[in-house]
Structure 1
């Protein structure tokens, strides 16, 4: 996922405003107008002494620039507020569209941009502050930055319909987490994860969320909202405990019917069901229990 090129500081400002609630953009528009208007309303120059020409010209320049910015900057703020409003409406629409579906196949019909928006909204529903970075570049492919209090989590999104996420993706995110001091990370895909990816994430503070798990989390969030109960997301994919600040969604991860251990989502490599997913006991090979 690549970043789009920037055209200038005004576009950068609009992008920043778009990350804020729409009403914050409107408030900034009013504040910047009042601020620049105060500088633009300088009294006219009547007489200037020879030694005051420089300061007088400076005042004229400031007044002229402020008279332009008093309309330009608030306009940018209003446009950013509009983008924020449209973006939030689109995110909520994506969540509603997916949760109305009966299967996780709804995740496969969207673009990677929509998938990233959907994942961001899923975390936002759980109470995280979400910053969308666009992925790629020097940030190691991080698409979302999550914050709660002083703690930070990194998220990498992979909208791959026909491929399993390889262990190299998980290793890359884990390295970026260490470099940036994040307390944890998530790799989210509409598809599935290779066995090597699951093995690497097991016991580490990297949580893997496949398409079925994401679909279940969104469904649970909708149900909780309807019932008026607050829920929090746990993106646990293995026997490892949840990342600090993320609750356990136990109803989505079954227990082994034989030894009661947590089960892991696996992919069949051989036989008639090759490529299909199933739940396998985390104590494998000591316990070989499976569930569909």
Structure 2
């Protein structure tokens, strides 16, 4: 297992703003109803309602700020030189956001500390892919690739991606041949990030994340959907 620095508050994923706001409103509505039925507790309960609403709003704003920071981080690093200057935490974030924009459900398991070699778990169409991120200046060797192959077998995953800011040794590439292992080097990371970049300036969702054009299942009508779906389900018309 790798030892990691403790997670920092700026990288801690808060609840989606819609969840925080929804829970706060439901609890506040319940307490307000109790206050109407209990005159003796009317003022204390109403005061609690105000506290819950303010707290819910604060948590929602934290979620919005979190999403905006991640979007700015990805949009602001479009070349290999700037990507190599990122901390390992921010490198994982842009990789995570890039795959999220490609349509994967992404679970971040590496930001909190020792993670056993797995930083991200990607899910799509019933298949699970393990991802390890290496913000190294030196080439990634065969031992890392063998470790991830073992973890793929252990966790019964369908595939593995090893994403690095540098490159891979010949031995690493030779070991990966014929296996469900994708080696994503620095140049491929740049291509990945640029492929999901908002082309004409981001159309921003209420949560702060960029929106992209999606095709409706009924009638095939195009609309703008949040890139954080299903955490955020905000939509807008394209016109």
**Offset at residue 122 of structure 1 (A):** 0.8
Given candidates 128, 135, 152, the residue that maps to 1:177 is 152
**Unaligned runs of at least 5 residues, structure 1:** 7-13, 46-59, 231-292
Q: Is the 8 A contact 1:142 1:154 kept in 2?
A: yes
Quote the Cα distance in structure 2 between the aligned partners of 1:135 and 1:194: 29
**Offset at residue 171 of structure 1 (A):** 2.2
CA 1:140–1:28 in 2, change beyond 3 Å: closer, same or farther? same
Larger radius of gyration: 1
Given candidates 115, 140, 143, the residue that maps to 2:91 is 115
CA 1:16–1:89 in 2, change beyond 3 Å: closer, same or farther? closer
Asked if 1:129 is matched to 2:105, the reply is yes
Q: Deviations over 1:75-101 (max 9, x none)?
A: 6654443332222212221222222x4
Equivalent pairs, count: 195
- In structure 2, the partner of 1:210 is 185
Higher relative contact order (CA 8 A, sep 6+): 2
**Unaligned runs of at least 5 residues, structure 2:** 201-211, 215-239
CA 1:123–1:67 in 2, change beyond 3 Å: closer, same or farther? same
Counting only pairs closer than 5 Å after superposition, residues 81-92 of structure 1 correspond to structure 2 as: 81-92=60-71
- In structure 2, the partner of 1:28 is 23
Q: Is the 8 A contact 1:28 1:74 kept in 2?
A: no
CA 1:4–1:93 in 2, change beyond 3 Å: closer, same or farther? closer
**Offset at residue 152 of structure 1 (A):** 2.1
CA 1:159–1:79 in 2, change beyond 3 Å: closer, same or farther? farther
Quote the Cα distance in structure 2 between the aligned partners of 1:68 and 1:185: 52
* TM-score normalised by the chain length of structure 1: 0.55
Counting only pairs closer than 5 Å after superposition, residues 159-198 of structure 1 correspond to structure 2 as: 159-161=135-137, 163-198=138-173
- In structure 2, the partner of 1:261 is none
CA 1:169–1:37 in 2, change beyond 3 Å: closer, same or farther? farther
Describe the SS at the equivalent of 2:94: helix
Q: Is the 8 A contact 1:158 1:189 kept in 2?
A: yes
Root-mean-square deviation (CA, aligned residues, Å) is: 3.4
**Offset at residue 213 of structure 1 (A):** 0.5
